[in-house]
Structure 1
Amino acid sequence: MRSFSSTPVPDIPGYDPDHPVRVNHTPRNIVIAVLVVAFVLAATLLGYHAMTKTDEAPKGSENNPVVIGVVGATNPEWVEFTKQAKAQGVYVQIKDFQDYTSENPALSTGSLDMNEFQHLLYLANYNVSNRDNLQPLGGTAIYPLGLYSARNDQGKPIYESLSQIPAGSTVAIPNDETNQARAIGVLRAAGLVTLKGDWTAFTIPQDIDTANSKVKVVPMKAEQIANTLTSDPTVAAGVINNDYVADAGIDPTTAIYHDDADSEESHPYINIFAVRAADIDNETYRKCVEIFQTKPVLDKLQENSQGTAVFADKFSTKQLQQYLQDIERQIRSEE
């Protein structure tokens, strides 16, 4: 049953109370649409303004920190560096990476402003392989590559000097391309091997003149060498990377020989801050390098390296760039 209202029915020709009047909402919809568009435009402009303000914040300010990619962001040198940088009015963000393959692409594409994890030889290989042009801005340290004696059952070195290593004995070296060449250079400088020609950062075992060398060289995985010195009696000594020395609990001061960090042969192994070529003159980035090279930071770096780091803070940007250029030229000539 339909209920009836007490409201009088209007006396309008054609009016039917059972059919509602169709109201024209077009004017209202236009007003709403205009308001929505105005709101969207306002939000967009506010967002753009906020983004512009961020972009306009000076690099190194709190709203626009210098982003630096490293491996080991919690290392004491980076904690100290961040503190020292802030004290000098430079804000930095230390971005941690778990491997060595991502930092250079991240720098190249702009996700990073700088990185510090590699030596010049690594950077040269990356640039040539990827047709990139990342550049060194400043040096940090060189980590000498040590030659360690085989260990007895008590874990003590069997040989305490180069002269004690028997002629014809076997010495293990890392088999990766970068450290293999460097290890051969260490053995050459130690007088244990003779090369057929000059040493380069790309020397391989086949370049060793075995007939005129005191020892035989056996390449193996870098992480296996320390264990081999205690488990394989046929190996008299081994060249071990710094990281694996610490992992194996070996005292780095027990190395019977290590390369000279000040020598020309060590230039490819200078660890550096890298930047994009367009940023080579960026004053804020240069300031970051200078802060890292101060005593409080370098003391923490030395502490973390167990006293093995040789600081490379005296090389100019132009020197480092020249070393990089020379290494890249060598790489291309080897292709």
Structure 2
Amino acid sequence: MKRWLFPLLIIVAIIITGCSNQTSVQPKKGGKTIKVGIRNSELRTWEFIKEKAAKEGLTIKIVNFSSAYDPNQALVEGDIDVNAFQHVAYLDAFNQKNGTDIVPIGTTIIAPLGLYSVKYKSINDIPQGAQIAVPNDPPNWGRALLLLQEAGLIQVTDDFDGNGGQDKIKENPKKLKIIPVEAANTPRVMQDTAGSIINNGIAVEAGLSLKDALIHESKTAKPYINVIATNKKDQNRSELKKLVALYQSEETANFIKKTYKGNYIPTFISLKELSTYKETFKTK
């Protein structure tokens, strides 16, 4: 009898331990599941939120997309419930180009755009006629032009609307050659150009830090505040509102500041205030 008792106790202990572990990581019974499309640069933030959400009865499934695929397309096709990878100006441009109806449901961070170079240590060192690579999608191309204007290298047109293009440059005293490339390729062309303007998330994926940039956005700018977005028909789902509240908590903000060491800036404003972002361009 004693020979069987000890192994039996071990089996019971294993079963109890397994049940205990499952309870610690599983959401409350009856919880909702949300598929969140992100890019790798914010993975740690969403893993943190996933753990918080489970305690609130909300299951989050993280769907991680490479920079070569637009999570907006996955949202339109119904493969995910929300995404969190883009700023509001990019979202509006996507809707306009594709006839889609994706809406922001909450703000998240600003990921400052930066000009990086492997050849020069200062903006002043960039020579006449140098090539500068910029992301080729209109919103980030326009954002790059504003950064070059802030650096005193160019001046945009009086009717600038935030979107980029060669015709959006009014003055270019150094006769810089602006080279539009796929955003995902901006780190790769650094060797072939005087500098490359790189989106923060892509820079982080390439092993670059904001402190490595010759210049970067220094002020909070509404057009470039990142958002959690969903299809308009889903914007009032209660579980999505709970998701936004979890992201916009003080606990999450502190996690972002500590984890990303200034590369990402938590920025929580109302959707009403966000909707006025185009007024920013009128002062340029």
| TM-score, shorter chain, exceeding 0.5 | yes
Letter in 1 for 2:270: S
Question: Which residue is 1:312 aligned to?
Answer: 267
Over 3 Å counting, the alpha-carbon distance change for 1:66 and 1:114 in structure 2 is farther
Q: Of residues 79, 94, 118 in structure 2, which corresponds to 1:150?
A: 118
Give 1:320 shift: 2.9
Q: Distance in 1 between matches of 2:126 and 2:77?
A: 50
TM-score normalized by the length of structure 1: 0.63
Question: Which residue is 1:181 aligned to?
Answer: 142
Question: Which residue is 2:211 aligned to?
Answer: 253
Residue 90 of structure 2 contacts residue 140 of structure 2 at CA under 8 Å; is this kept in 1? no
Are 1:69 and 2:28 counterparts? no
Q: Distance in 2 between matches of 1:268 and 1:121?
A: 5
Q: Distance in 2 between matches of 1:111 and 1:245?
A: 27
Give 1:140 shift: 0.5
Q: Of residues 154, 176, 181 in structure 2, which corresponds to 1:216?
A: 176
Question: Which residue is 1:236 aligned to?
Answer: 194
5+ residue gaps, structure 2: 1-26, 280-284
Residue 185 of structure 1 contacts residue 199 of structure 1 at CA under 8 Å; is this kept in 2? no
Over 3 Å counting, the alpha-carbon distance change for 1:192 and 1:141 in structure 2 is same
Q: Distance in 2 between matches of 1:180 and 1:261?
A: 18
Letter in 2 for 1:318: K
Letter in 2 for 1:182: R
> Which structure has the larger Rg?
1
Question: Which residue is 1:42 aligned to?
Answer: none
Over 3 Å counting, the alpha-carbon distance change for 1:111 and 1:299 in structure 2 is same
Q: Distance in 2 between matches of 1:237 and 1:301?
A: 28
Question: Which residue is 1:165 aligned to?
Answer: 126
Q: Distance in 2 between matches of 1:108 and 1:224?
A: 25
Which stretch has the larger CA shift, 140-149 or 175-184?
Answer: 175-184
Question: Which residue is 1:200 aligned to?
Answer: 161
Over 3 Å counting, the alpha-carbon distance change for 1:256 and 1:93 in structure 2 is same
Q: Distance in 2 between matches of 1:164 and 1:102?
A: 36
Question: Which residue is 1:286 aligned to?
Answer: 241
Q: Distance in 2 between matches of 1:178 and 1:164?
A: 27
Over 3 Å counting, the alpha-carbon distance change for 1:66 and 1:125 in structure 2 is farther
**Residue deviations 1:187-230 (CA, integer Å, cap 9, x gap):** 012110123334322231232235x433503314345544444x
Give 1:81 shift: 0.4
Over 3 Å counting, the alpha-carbon distance change for 1:130 and 1:218 in structure 2 is closer
Q: Distance in 2 between matches of 1:106 and 1:224?
A: 22
Over 3 Å counting, the alpha-carbon distance change for 1:303 and 1:128 in structure 2 is same
Over 3 Å counting, the alpha-carbon distance change for 1:127 and 1:62 in structure 2 is farther
Give 1:61 shift: 6.2
Over 3 Å counting, the alpha-carbon distance change for 1:208 and 1:149 in structure 2 is same
Residue 69 of structure 1 contacts residue 96 of structure 1 at CA under 8 Å; is this kept in 2? yes
Question: Which residue is 1:55 aligned to?
Answer: none
Residue 135 of structure 1 contacts residue 321 of structure 1 at CA under 8 Å; is this kept in 2? no
Over 3 Å counting, the alpha-carbon distance change for 1:290 and 1:112 in structure 2 is same
3-state SS in 2 of match to 1:273: strand
3-state SS in 2 of match to 1:245: helix
TM-score normalized by the length of structure 2: 0.73
Which stretch has the larger CA shift, 183-192 or 303-312?
Answer: 303-312
Over 3 Å counting, the alpha-carbon distance change for 1:247 and 1:109 in structure 2 is closer
Tell me how large the CA RMSD over aligned residues is. Answer: 3.2
Question: Which residue is 1:90 aligned to?
Answer: 57
Are 1:137 and 2:105 counterparts? yes
Letter in 1 for 2:113: L
